[in-house]
Amino acid sequence: MNETPSKIQNPKSKIIKTENLTKRYNGLTALDDLNLSVEEGAVVGFIGPNGAGKTTTMRILTTLLKPTSGRAWVAGYSVTAEPRQVRRVIGYMPDTFGVYDDMKVWEYLDFFAACYDIPPAVRAHLVDDLLALVDLSHKREEFVENLSRGMKQRLCLARTLAHDPQVLILDEPASGLDPRARIEMRELLRELKNMGKTIFFSSHILSEVADVCTSLAILEAGRLVAFGDVATMRQQIRPHRVIHTRTLGDVNVLLERLAAVPEVAEVATGPEMNLPPGAVRFTFRGDEAALGRTLAGLVSAGVPIVSFSEESGNLEDVFIQMTKGVVS
């Protein structure tokens, strides 16, 4: 591939960028013209059916695989022309990773920190900090093989942070974990997001993706079928908001007031609609400002509102609408 090693325009704003990225294996197209632009500090959930090309994309971004055609940059560095610089700014956690049986937890982190050219004097403190971050300080002298799956996963995540990378590329970070370990992993991702890391992760568990990510990339049969922030995607599949509200007073007063609002439609209440006493569900066709005015109107009219919330669009709905279950 003829490519000059040059940083892309304004690399700060686009921490990950791909242009017509394609990968073919013996005639089989695993990745087809992928175009992605990820902002710095974003948490991108990369979802798609098995064989959609998620791991292929991640392996190209981590310099483990060469694309057949197209280009990709991480933190402004080309993955094909400047692989060493790319390795310096990424932390990669593959979906299946191994650990060394005959190593202690601190030795494991120390070894990988050394592989990132971190001097011995710095490594001692670094290992302690990383263990504290993933809550494994008490396992410092334990052999890695004796850790639970969840602990190994956290240890591997700590390893990816050894050189303080800007971008974390995590392939199914919560796969095979029990519910508690999954929650711990999710909390850890949130903490890393707060630390300003850009996180690009794949997952099969959509609720997990919805909880953590700011953007969503849906891949199917090697093609990007949707990419954008989660709220916009939900909006796309469900253009109208569904609002749930509840009053402590007479529900009929609430219904009368809502009937006077032109943006309100499909009002439902009562046990036959599976709603508790005083609760009302309605569709709202207006924008956020109109919704705010509606709530203010109800409160100023003396309706004792105790809850007023928008029904969150289910991410499963987004996924099902966007994909057809095709595998390349």
State in angstroms the smallest separation of the CB of 168 from another protein.
12
Query: Would you tell me the crossing angle of helices 120-133 and 149-160 to the nearest 10 degrees?
Result: 130
State in angstroms the smallest separation of the CB of 277 from another protein.
56
State in angstroms the smallest separation of the CB of 70 from another protein.
14
Q: CA triplet 161, 85, 222: central angle to 5 degrees?
A: 80
Cβ contacts of residue 292 below 8 Å, gap of 6+? none
Q: In the complex with another protein, which residue's Cβ is closer, 94 or 304?
A: 94
**Residue 141 pairs with which residues in a beta bridge?**
none
Instruction: At 200, list the tokens.
Output: 């690009």
Sort strands 241-247 and 305-310 into parallel, antiparallel or unpaired.
antiparallel
Instruction: At 98, list the tokens.
Output: 């191994």
State in angstroms the smallest separation of the CB of 174 from another protein.
17
Q: In the complex with another protein, which residue's Cβ is closer, 140 or 238?
A: 140
State in angstroms the smallest separation of the CB of 194 from another protein.
24
Q: Are 184 and 154 in contact (CB under 8 A)?
A: yes
**Chain residues that interact with another protein, rule: CB under 8 A:** 62-66, 79-80, 83-84, 87-88, 90, 92, 94, 96-100, 102-103, 107, 111-112, 114-117, 120, 156, 159, 163
